[in-house]
Structure 1
Amino acid sequence: YKKWVPWLVPTIIAVNVVLFLISMYINDCPAAHSGNCVGDSFLGPFAFQPTHENPLLGPSAATLLKMGALQVDKVVKDHEAWRLVTCMWLHAGAFHILANMLSLLFVGIRLEQEFGFLRIGLLYVISGIGGSLSSALFVRTTISVGASGALFGLLGAMLSELLINWTIYEKKV
């Protein structure tokens, strides 16, 4: 039988990286902070916010909010429910996106090979929205971005699959 070649997880990673680059370009730190940006001499408009503002090496909170970061007041008072989806495609910094995308690569590829793109895609989006709802309930004063909710959904699926099929694995730890 033909082995499934994963395409959804690499596509999700590519979209996240492109959106991070767009957020850095929109942020354009050197235009707002003359000389205080991290890497402005070689990154130009893609330079990171000063580390006292964003230690994760990324854009400003204002830029993330403009692009769709989750903020409870915007969702509740301004009826911007779409932020529950858009926030999971944004990342606070280079360290944040690196950790999230490496996790997605290691967990997501295997799951997509086993269960296909439709199941994994639905699980990713539904878990991401669930993570956004949880964040909206418990983190009410700051903005929230990232794919952690979606990743925890995939991690839960991987753990469930392991527990259900425990007896068929040859090398148990």
Structure 2
Amino acid sequence: MSNNNNSLYPQLKMAGLQENTTTNGMERGDNGHPQEEIPLQRLTSEEQRAAETAERQKVYELFKKYDTNNDDRLNLKELKVMIKGGLCRQMSRGLSHHLIHMNDRNGDRHLDFEEFYELTQNNKWLISSVMNEYCRLLVPLPNREIGDQIDGAYERQMTFCPPPLTMVIFSLIEVIFFLIDVIYFKDDPNNTKKVGENTNGPAAKLFIYNPYRRYEAWRFVTYMFVHVGIMHLFMNLLIQILLGVALELVHHWWRITLIYLAGVLAGSMGTSLTSPTIYLAGASGGVYALITAHIATIILNWKEMEFAIIQLCVFLIFCLTDLGTSIYRHMTDQNDQVGYVAHLCGALAGLLVGIGVLRNLKEQKWERILWWVAILVFFALLSAGILIHIFDPSHFPRQDYFPRNTSWESIRSNKL
């Protein structure tokens, strides 16, 4: 063996031997007898094979642990469970997709054992004790950057197909009817009210809740299309779009429509029962229904949502603050025209109907009981309100079967 190969094949020499010239791959000692070179590679090959076998066994045990359907392949869901099993709670949604894409040699969107073994050798963090450190360094926290991807079973249900346009459509209709009345009074010299505050326009007279025309049953719902003033309209539109779109991404349009309309109907029904002579305008009954619908979905999907406790606290703080402010205004301002009963009834309807119709990603036994309680309570209250309106006409003002102008002083607007 030439000296040029000594760097590739190190030699193990016996103690006391001196270095001599090399002949035909043999080394001579002090007695002149040739000594055979013993490559370390030959000594370590068996150890390497043993180490690799032990490594493969360890990886195989991990592979079988998460191969829940025993098909000798890991799918996307199983891989994500394995990664999150290492306490990588903030794992990006695209991470598992990326790992499978990189190592799926046969393109079947699964990892067999050989593909998985190669993945673990290239990504030691998968089976390493430093999993948490990897996650902290490489996986962005939710909402830290614009490009971050969300995680959580609830959030993964969000979809833009179909696009969440329900509350946008309702808002456009409300804007159109508002503009109709604004244009109607644009050149009226007798109109002394601010823009949008005159409730004698064609849209307002047709849709407002008029206690003297309760026989026109559509008014119990269509009053949501009438707003008194620009700020009244703007605040309702802003909040209902923000809250409604967030719900619609997960629960789809028809559920949000039911909740919104239930809040509007409950608002007018409650106001009619408690203040029979009050006119009503605005969509805040539906807006408050959307607020408490968020509380309903947090209750139903507590374990599936990211930061559920924080979200619940935010909505509860808002509701309690608004309730306290409303009570204060009602007691201190005699000219206060806000329909607080409509807010309260709309919020109650949103909570009850939300529990009844919103998606429950993982139903528990107690949630099924809660579902029945919510449905029964809502229909009991709604039925009682309808029956009182039908069979106790003395509780309400006498009906006016001829058109009459509405007065600003008698109108309660559903302002936030």
- Taking structure 1 as the reference length, the TM-score comes to 0.76
Q: Distance in 2 between matches of 1:61 and 1:102?
A: 22
Checking the alignment, whether the CA contact within 8 Å between 2:264 and 2:284 is kept in structure 1 is yes
82, 96, 114: which is aligned to 2:218?
82
Who wins on radius of gyration, i.e. which is larger?
Answer: 2
Q: Distance in 2 between matches of 1:126 and 1:133?
A: 10
Equivalent residue letter for 1:16: E
Q: CA deviation at 1:2?
A: 8.5
Match in the other structure for 2:268: 132
Fraction of identical pairs, as percent? 26
7, 10, 18: which is aligned to 2:176?
18
In the TM superposition, what whole-angstrom CA distance separates every residue of 1:73-105 from its partner, at most 9, and x where no partner exists? 211xxx211211210111111011111001101
Q: CA deviation at 1:106?
A: 1.3
Equivalent residue letter for 1:66: K
- 1:119–1:2 CA distance, 2 compared to 1 (3 A): closer
Q: Distance in 1 between matches of 2:248 and 2:236?
A: 17
Match in the other structure for 1:68: 207
3-state SS of 1:92 partner: coil
Match in the other structure for 1:31: 188
- 1:164–1:2 CA distance, 2 compared to 1 (3 A): closer
Q: Distance in 1 between matches of 2:225 and 2:271?
A: 15
Equivalent residue letter for 1:59: E
Checking the alignment, whether the CA contact within 8 Å between 2:204 and 2:226 is kept in structure 1 is no
* Matching of residues 22-171 of structure 1 within 5 Å: 22-26=180-184, 28=185, 30-33=187-190, 36=192, 49-50=193-194, 57-63=195-201, 65-75=204-214, 79-171=215-307
What value does the CA root-mean-square deviation take over the aligned residues? 2.2
Q: CA deviation at 1:61?
A: 3.0
Match in the other structure for 1:3: 159
Checking the alignment, whether the CA contact within 8 Å between 1:91 and 1:146 is kept in structure 2 is yes
- 1:105–1:65 CA distance, 2 compared to 1 (3 A): closer
- Taking structure 2 as the reference length, the TM-score comes to 0.34
Q: Distance in 1 between matches of 2:181 and 2:206?
A: 7
Gaps of 5+ in 1: 37-48, 51-56
Q: Distance in 2 between matches of 1:2 and 1:61?
A: 40
Q: Distance in 2 between matches of 1:108 and 1:154?
A: 6
Equivalenced residues, count: 150
Flag as ranges the 4+ runs of structure 1 deviating above 6 A.
Answer: none
Checking the alignment, whether the CA contact within 8 Å between 1:69 and 1:83 is kept in structure 2 is yes
Bigger relative CO (Cα 8 Å, ≥ 6 apart):
1
Q: CA deviation at 1:65?
A: 4.8
Q: Distance in 2 between matches of 1:12 and 1:111?
A: 15
Gaps of 5+ in 2: 1-156, 311-416
Q: Distance in 1 between matches of 2:232 and 2:249?
A: 25
Match in the other structure for 1:54: none
- Structure number with the higher helix fraction is 1
Greater Cα shift, 137-146 or 58-67: 58-67
Greater Cα shift, 5-14 or 107-116: 5-14
